[in-house]
Amino acid sequence: MIDRLKHININTLLTIVIVVIALLYLKQCGNSANLNNELKIANMNQLALSDSVTTYRDKSGDLTFEKSTLIASKNELKNLNRELYDEVKDLKDNPKIVIKTEVKIIHDTVEVETKTILYADGSIGLNWNRDTTFSVGNFQSLSGETRFKLDSNKVTNVNTTLTKNTFGMSFITGLKEGKDSYEIFIKSDYPGFSATDIQGSIIDKKMIQSNESSFVFGPSIGYGLVLNPSGNASHGFMFGVTATYNLNKPIKKLFRPFGL
């Protein structure tokens, strides 16, 4: 073995050393990138846990409610938000995102037309109805009847029955990338709508993690140009084990200050 090593071309030896060093460096870069990504996620989760619902009006003037979201796997969610964990733990398939929103509706004071009804047993009824469509998908339909008797100028046997109580609400919710975190937003055209609480988590971290600038080592097959240590170039099909590193993200970051 030692005799064989003595006959190895110095250029070949240098090439092997350079390749080994490059592989170790790229692996270290990959590990550092993973650590930085986990630290970034931890900071986002800290912000989400302390964040509260904020409101603003979008470009069309619609009132929008939003709050930072967690980024955690199902097991991690168990410690960060047990309420959300309980909602997804028994699902058959793996969820990507979970969102839970609490809303409140405050209606304006309105007058409702009321009709008087006289029943055969002498009791009196007040019948009222409100059927309103605010916009597409947003409506309220409420009607009822209050029945009572007058006995010596006293109201007795009072009973109110809701004969119809339905409403429809249309709202839009989604996920957007904010300055320091990912945020859940929700908005609705329903009058008096407000979101009192928004809770959510991105469970599938692959949705926010980029594969750019990643180190890949494994079998490969392809066609290309090869330059060997002796300086001779050749081309053709290649099959073997290779190590690659995607430089796309660093290159884009380098040219970003120039607006390219």
Query: Mean pLDDT across the stretch 73-88?
Result: 90
More confident residue, 215 or 87: 87
Rounded Cα gap, residues 30 and 36, in angstroms = 10
pLDDT of residue 198: 94
pLDDT of residue 258: 43
Q: Tens digits of per-residue pLDDT, 2-46?
A: 555 455 566 665 666 666 666 555 556 555 556 677 888 889 899
Which single residue is written with the structure tokens 């099959």? 239
Contact 143, 164 (CB under 8 A): yes
Say if residue 257's pLDDT is above 90. Answer: no
Say if residue 138's pLDDT is above 90. Answer: yes
Say if residue 70's pLDDT is above 90. Answer: yes
Please state, for a pLDDT cut of 90, what percent of the chain lies above it: 33
Rounded Cα gap, residues 126 and 163, in angstroms = 13
